[in-house]
Structure 1
Amino acid sequence: MDTAAIEEMFQGLGPVTIKRMFGGKGIYHLGRIIAIELRDEMLLKADEKSAPEFADAGASQWSYEGKKGNPVKMPYWSIPENAYDDPDEMAKWVRLAYEAALRAE
């Protein structure tokens, strides 16, 4: 995803900074990481409070296979499909990601 597309995706939140990381990109708002792009998929930050909302909307949590073959769950979730066609809905999800980033301090 190019910079302009990422900026458009997060316009409901405000300006973002994009940094290369781990073979993907980290997306920051006001100095806090709120999302990562990995293998052309945007994943939003969530926590114990917001993760149930992501799950209820059909999003999936990012995980990878650990050293012993067990899944390691990370605090990033896919974006619910209906948000891609609705800027107001996308704004809701990116705000939730920022709120999770604030609580992570």
Structure 2
Amino acid sequence: MAVDEGLVAWVEEAMAPLGTVTGRAMMGGRTLYCDGTVFAILGLDALWFKADAQTDAEWDAAGCVRFTYERDGGTASMNYRRAPDDCYDDADALRGWAALALAAGRRAPARRRKAGHGTQA
């Protein structure tokens, strides 16, 4: 699955007032960071914002489904929610939801890198 580079450019442009967006390849998609904080992923042809227990009620109220995938014969999920439709054409909406995701990203515990794994720009 290829990443929609037009969507990447849109997110970078819309997020400019909040900070600099960078990305890192991940399993056919891309992890997005704003000034070094994970806030979203691109995968399954959609934008998915980081969520946590403090924001789940807001995502649920907006009807934003949780990111799920098949694993070991079952279904697994990650703490990401599908972006509301207006995020694809309304920069203010995208920034509003992204701010919620950035807050979740900042609250997340730091992940330790496995020995021998370098960073990628």
TM-score normalised according to structure 1 size: 0.86
Runs in 1 of length 4+ with deviation above 3 angstroms? none
> Separation in 2 of the partners of 1:9 and 1:75?
23
Q: Which residue number in structure 2 is paired with residue 93 of structure 1?
A: 97
Shift of 1:12: 4.4
TM-fit CA distance, 1:17: 0.6
1:48 aligns with 2:53: yes
Counterpart pick for 1:61 among 60, 63, 66? 66
- Alignment counterpart, residue 80 of structure 1, candidates 84, 92, 101: 84
What is the number of residues matched between the two proteins?
104
Scaled by the length of structure 2, what TM-score is found? 0.76
Unaligned stretches of 5+ in structure 1? none
Of the two, which has the highest radius of gyration?
2
Identical aligned residues as a percent: 36
Distance in 2 between residues matched to 1:78 and 1:26, nearest whole Å: 14
| 1:15 CA displacement | 1.1
Two-structure CA RMSD over aligned residues (Å):
1.6
- Between the aligned partners of 2:22 and 2:39, the Cα distance in structure 1 is 10
